[in-house]
Amino acid sequence: MSLNKVIFLDRDGVINYESDGFIKSPEEWLPIPSSLEAIAKLSKAHFTLFIVTNQSGVGRGLFDLKALEKIHHKMLTEITQTGGKIEKIYFCPHKPEDNCSCRKPKPGLYQQAAKEYKIDFSTSYVIGDSLRDIQSGLAIQAKTILVLTGNGEITAKSYKKELSQTLLAENLDIAADYLLNH
């Protein structure tokens, strides 16, 4: 049996505020208003949520895996306290030039999730704020939603042609409302 009603969320710019200097500590991780509530709504509607995130700050030496673990612990605690549930976090710690198979837009992390959880991508959604999030969603043949938080507005203006198959939503809460009503 495979999971349906699966949503893959990007982290920075979708759940929490984006930072050009990277989120390097739990103190720097700040949720975007209504994002945690959106995750709670989706969880209560029996969606299975995963986070898939590039974290090249690890590979660049800006923070280590222990710091990333603390950031994710804070995030998961706040999500749980709001009534949400994240099934698992998948992250790529590599720099872009490492040319790994797990860094978005490559689909390696999604393929890993599919193996572990028997996910049907054709009924899944990828929600992100950058072109690489959308490209990774299209690569696995999932449905895609670009949120206009984080880098989303710039992405929407710069890549109209590439986003022709992608739904645009003001933020994660609006995307959640769409998913709950369709």
Distance from the first to the final alpha carbon of the chain? 23
Q: Which of 12, 129, 133, 173 is catalytic?
A: 12
Burial class (CB in 10 A: 0-12, 13-18, 19+), 36: buried
Q: Cα separation of 88 and 82, whole Å?
A: 17
Tell me, rounded to whole angstroms, the distance of Cα 14 from its chain centroid. 7
120 counts as catalytic:
no
**Catalytic one among 10, 129, 133, 173?**
10
Question: Using CA atoms, how far apart are residues 47 and 43, in angstroms rounded to an integer?
Answer: 5
Q: Which two tokens stand for residue 71?
A: 């950031």
Amino acid at 45: A
Q: Is 173 a catalytic residue?
A: no
- The catalytic residues are 10, 12
